[in-house]
Structure 1
């Protein structure tokens, strides 16, 4: 699963990598957590032939997808991840998988090695080549009972490759740059047409760097949380959280 990630590139670097127009400057974010706003890139409106305008658009969404049919958000689990193997068929994700596939720019993500069912050593997982990576995402607009709308999203996950498997059994789905357009094309590409993209990253794509328990706390947002752990500070197991009825093992509760 992917429960924390980082986006430390500049706005210009992110826009160039994602193939979008100018975006407002934003600070480096070293510890992005569920319920916080994240950038998602979606296919934009069709452009006329010969237009130089980008056909992709960036938007901020709340990390934690809420399907449009949810009535009581207090009893619904926080879907910050979606299992790619069932996204096209599961009620929570199938509409977004068909109509609102997205990309999530990131510099890397964090994962915790499980020890007896508890969080153990934390790792900062980043592309070996450096730079940015794009995770497969899903976006859904949720209309609150009061009438206001909130854009929400989830990151798709798949089985971990050999780089990550010794840490956790799941990892985010990585969409390669040459596949951005096909993944985002919800007009002519149905879920079955892009199913081949929902696979683990190639071997040696990522490197996993052990880091200290600083990353465990959302309040820690500085670059020091990505510094290599020298062994002086290991992650402390967290107390088990109470779960809402029906919550997925790989999800967190909403409120």
Structure 2
């Protein structure tokens, strides 16, 4: 098992800025009445390691399950992988033993209203972008439920987001983007008997996505003697 299969390739933040009732309706969730009638709104920004609700198919029903985002302490040839892995690239879904096993039996939907990317403009300047559906609606990122034994011999139950190549609009910010499952294919994706689930995965098209720049952070050059050292301000 090669560590190259599990390389990280998309900045890890997304948002679900929607009410409980909106999420329940979108994903046809079976939910407790208290939850269904609550005024809860989900948080603005979700980051790796955080325990978050994902949509799973259990006992013939779509339900919310709470799982941490990201695979940590993954043993590769007996050595724990140094970095946490938050995404699975679509190109490696079949060749990776970890991803291919989950693809067959443990598929999830991750509700979102946007996700975030950081663009390196030059050596001294970074920009943060929020990327969202042009219709401003909730969308479903394709996800995998990963169950594994970590390097400490503990059983972990988490999720990762599947990514694909970015469309021409998003390539100006980042070369990858989350893979989507369309609403009419939610059930097919969640069911174990889908013949070829990869065929259900699709990319946001050029017209379906929009983005806004949230901030720009620059570095100045501090001159100390004959040395020039960049520092953030």
- Give the alignment's TM-score, normalised by structure 1: 0.71
The equivalent residue for 1:201 is 204
Supply the RMSD in Å over aligned alpha carbons: 2.6
| Residue in structure 2 matching 1:154, options 160, 181, 187 | 160
The equivalent residue for 2:217 is 235
Q: In 2 relative to 1, CA 155–134 (structure 1 residues): closer, same or farther, beyond 3 Å?
A: same
Question: Is 1:28 equivalent to 2:22 in the alignment?
Answer: no
1-structure distance, mates of 2:114, 2:208? 11
| Residue in structure 2 matching 1:189, options 182, 188, 194 | 194
2-structure distance, mates of 1:151, 1:73? 20
Structure 2: stretches of 5+ with no match in the other structure: 1-9, 220-233
Question: Is 1:140 equivalent to 2:146 in the alignment?
Answer: yes
2-structure distance, mates of 1:117, 1:183? 41
Q: 1 or 2 for the larger relative contact order (CA 8 Å, sep ≥6)?
A: 1
The equivalent residue for 2:131 is 125
Question: Is 1:59 equivalent to 2:65 in the alignment?
Answer: yes
| Residue in structure 2 matching 1:106, options 79, 92, 112 | 112
2-structure distance, mates of 1:5, 1:97? 22
Instruction: Report how far residue 75 of structure 1 moved.
Output: 3.7
Instruction: Report how far residue 140 of structure 1 moved.
Output: 1.7
| Residue in structure 2 matching 1:9, options 9, 14, 18 | 18
| Contact 2:53/2:67 (<8 A) preserved | yes
Structure 1 residues 200-209 or 116-125, which shifts more? Answer: 116-125
The equivalent residue for 1:40 is 54
The equivalent residue for 1:78 is 84
2-structure distance, mates of 1:98, 1:117? 42
- Give the alignment's TM-score, normalised by structure 2: 0.77
The equivalent residue for 1:19 is 28
Structure 1: stretches of 5+ with no match in the other structure: 47-54, 213-233, 238-255
| Residue in structure 2 matching 1:175, options 172, 176, 181 | 181
Residues matched between the structures, number: 205
Instruction: Report how far residue 93 of structure 1 moved.
Output: 1.2
Q: Which has the higher strand share?
A: 2
Cα deviation, 1:96-122, whole Å, max 9, x if unaligned, reads: 111101100001101112334787211
The structure that has the greater radius of gyration is 2
Q: Which has the higher helix share?
A: 2
Instruction: Report how far residue 147 of structure 1 moved.
Output: 7.8
The equivalent residue for 2:230 is none
